[in-house]
Structure 1
Amino acid sequence: MNIIYTVCNRTNLAHALALADSVLQHQPDDVFYIGLVDSLPTDKLPERVKLIPVSELAIPDFNGMAADYYDFELLPAARPWFALGLLQKHPECVRLTFLSPTVILKKSFDSLLDPDSEMFLTPNISAPLKQSPILDDKRILNAGMFHSGSWTLRPSEKTTAALEWWAKRTIDRAHFDLCNGMNTDQLWLNYMPVWIPALKTLHNPGWHYGLNAVLNKNLTANGNDYKVDGQPLISLDFAGLGHFDPIWSDHAALVTENKVFQALFMEYQRIVIRKKQELEFSGEPAFGKYADILPNRLMRKGIAAKLKELTTYIDQF
């Protein structure tokens, strides 16, 4: 049994359902789960999508986490806990894959996963970045070498121990606080090669194409045939585009670097809007501190940068 899962609340449930459609199309033999960190009626969810609510997980002091984290921090903090919960619920699982709600599949990814590896991680970059005022190598180091939007593991003593270690650290060390060495769940992925020697990094150019890739990889289209550096496009990640992401929303302007990617994003937005209209959910998520952070965010960051320039100038004297 292979399981693919995502984690969301009402804010990105429509994105999760768009992902579900692509999984059912390209990985039809895999079981798809939505890990829901919210309190919502589930009668409007498609029957083909399985649901596991956060209330079913054995997270120590989840109420404390919900009170301490913003909702956009709580979601990634819960990801390894959902992995452990799904493996406990399905001991017959032989492959577990996490995909963030902003991912969609364009082809099956089975051919990427060799049988000798126990875990597969997605690198943020596979080569030094081309020069850009929007994104540079240092920012990638701050964010983490591996993209937390996708990973796969085969259940074993080593991978389960790594998940447990990771999960315990997200209880109180999964804030978005780069200055204090935290970046939600993501920086802990840097340690996975230490825990799991039989680990493979997926460098296929068609895998997980997003804002992390547009500077170095060329996405092209010939009708509905999409290729990245000559290889078939397998998956896309629209993190930071149309939905707040603590890392990638800072780099949303990169979408214009590739017109094919930009067109695919506009198509994706139409799908998400239709899903939202079908769901009719509104209001704030039930868990996590709510922050309406997207409006005017870039303007606020620009003002803060100007104030920093001023204080730096004053400090010189």
Structure 2
Amino acid sequence: MNIIYTVCNRTNLAHALALADSVLQHQPDDVFYLGLVDSISINNLPEHVNLLPVAALAIPGWDTMVADYYDFELLPACRPWFALEILKKHTECRQLTFLAPTVQLKKTFNSLLDAGSEMFLTPNISVPLKKSPILDDKRILNAGMYHSGSWTLRPSEKTTPVLEWWAQRTIDRANFDLCNGMNTDQLWLNYVPVWVPATQTLHNPGWHYGLNAVLNKMLVAKNDGYEVDGQPLISLDFAGLGHFDPIWSDHAGLVAENKAFQTLFMEYQRIVVKKRYDLEVSGQPAFGKHADILPNRLMRKGIAAKLKELTRYIDQF
């Protein structure tokens, strides 16, 4: 059995259901789980979606996590815990893949996964970034070498302990706090190749195209589909576009760098809006602190940068 799962709350539930539809289309033999970090009741879920509420996980220190984390931090903090619960429920699982709710599959990815590897990671970049005022190599280093929106493992004596180690650290070390060495769940992925020598980094240009790839990879419409650097487009990640993402929303302006990506995002938005309308879900997520971050975020960051320039100038004298 192969399983694909995602983790969401009411904010990105519509995105998660759009992902589920793309999984059904391109990975129809895989079981799909939706991990829900919220208290809402969801009626009439599609038959191909298995719902797993966070209440079923019995995470140690859960009440403290809810009190300490913002809702956008709590979601990634729960990801390894959902993975452990899914593997506990399905001891017959041979391959477990996490995909962020903002991911869309465009083709099957089975051929990417080497038979001899136990874990598969998605790099944020594969070559040095082209010069841009929006995103640079240093920001990628702050975020982490691997994109936490996509990873796959095959349960083994090496990979299962990684999940357990990772999960324990997200209880109190999954804040979005780059200055103190934390970036939700993501920086822990840097250690995976140390834990699991049989780790494969997926460098296929058509895999996981998003804001991390716009500067270095050329996405183009080709016949009835899309290609990236001459290879078929396999998956997209719209993290940072449409709703707040702690890392990628700062770089949302990069979407204008590629017309094909803009077109695909507009198509995706129509799907998500329709899903959201059908769900009729409103309000704030039940778990985690709420922060109204998205409005005017980039303007505030621009003002802060100007003030820093001014203070640096004053310090010189």
Task: Pick the TM interval, shorter chain.
Answer: over 0.9
Report deviation, 1:12.
0.1
1:36 is aligned to: 36
| Letter paired with 1:40 | I
1:23 is aligned to: 23
1:234 is aligned to: 234
CA contact 1:65–1:172 (8 Å) conserved in 2: yes
Provide the C-alpha distance between the structure 2 equivalents of 1:125 and 1:306, rounded to a whole number of angstroms: 29
2:161 is aligned to: 161
Provide the C-alpha distance between the structure 2 equivalents of 1:259 and 1:281, rounded to a whole number of angstroms: 32
Provide the C-alpha distance between the structure 2 equivalents of 1:231 and 1:299, rounded to a whole number of angstroms: 37
Report deviation, 1:19.
0.2
CA contact 1:71–1:290 (8 Å) conserved in 2: yes
CA contact 1:102–1:238 (8 Å) conserved in 2: yes
Report deviation, 1:61.
1.2
SS in 1 for 2:108: coil
2:188 is aligned to: 188
| Letter paired with 1:199 | T
Provide the C-alpha distance between the structure 1 equivalents of 2:44 and 2:211, rounded to a whole number of angstroms: 32
| Letter paired with 1:303 | I
Gaps of 5+ in 1: none
2:117 is aligned to: 117
Q: Tell me how large the CA RMSD over aligned residues is.
A: 0.8
Report deviation, 1:45.
2.1
Provide the C-alpha distance between the structure 2 equivalents of 1:26 and 1:213, rounded to a whole number of angstroms: 22
Report deviation, 1:223.
3.9
- TM-score with structure 1 setting the length: 0.99
**Farther off after superposition, 221-230 or 102-111:** 221-230
Q: Does 1:58 align with 2:52?
A: no
Indicate the percent of aligned positions where both proteins have the same amino acid. Answer: 81
1:205 is aligned to: 205
Provide the C-alpha distance between the structure 1 equivalents of 2:232 and 2:81, rounded to a whole number of angstroms: 33
Cα shift readout 1:198-238 (whole Å, capped 9, x = no counterpart): 00000000000000001111011124221101100000000
Flag as ranges the 4+ runs of structure 1 deviating above 3 A: none
Report deviation, 1:196.
0.3
Provide the C-alpha distance between the structure 1 equivalents of 2:224 and 2:101, rounded to a whole number of angstroms: 23
1:259 is aligned to: 259
1:140 is aligned to: 140
2:274 is aligned to: 274
CA contact 1:44–1:279 (8 Å) conserved in 2: no
1:216 is aligned to: 216
- TM-score with structure 2 setting the length: 0.99
Gaps of 5+ in 2: none
CA contact 1:70–1:288 (8 Å) conserved in 2: yes
SS in 2 for 1:206: coil
| Letter paired with 1:42 | I
Cα shift readout 1:11-55 (whole Å, capped 9, x = no counterpart): 000000000000000000000000000001121322321010101
1:277-292 aligned within 5 A: 277-292=277-292
| Letter paired with 1:43 | N
| Letter paired with 1:203 | H
SS in 1 for 2:167: helix
2:244 is aligned to: 244
2:315 is aligned to: 315
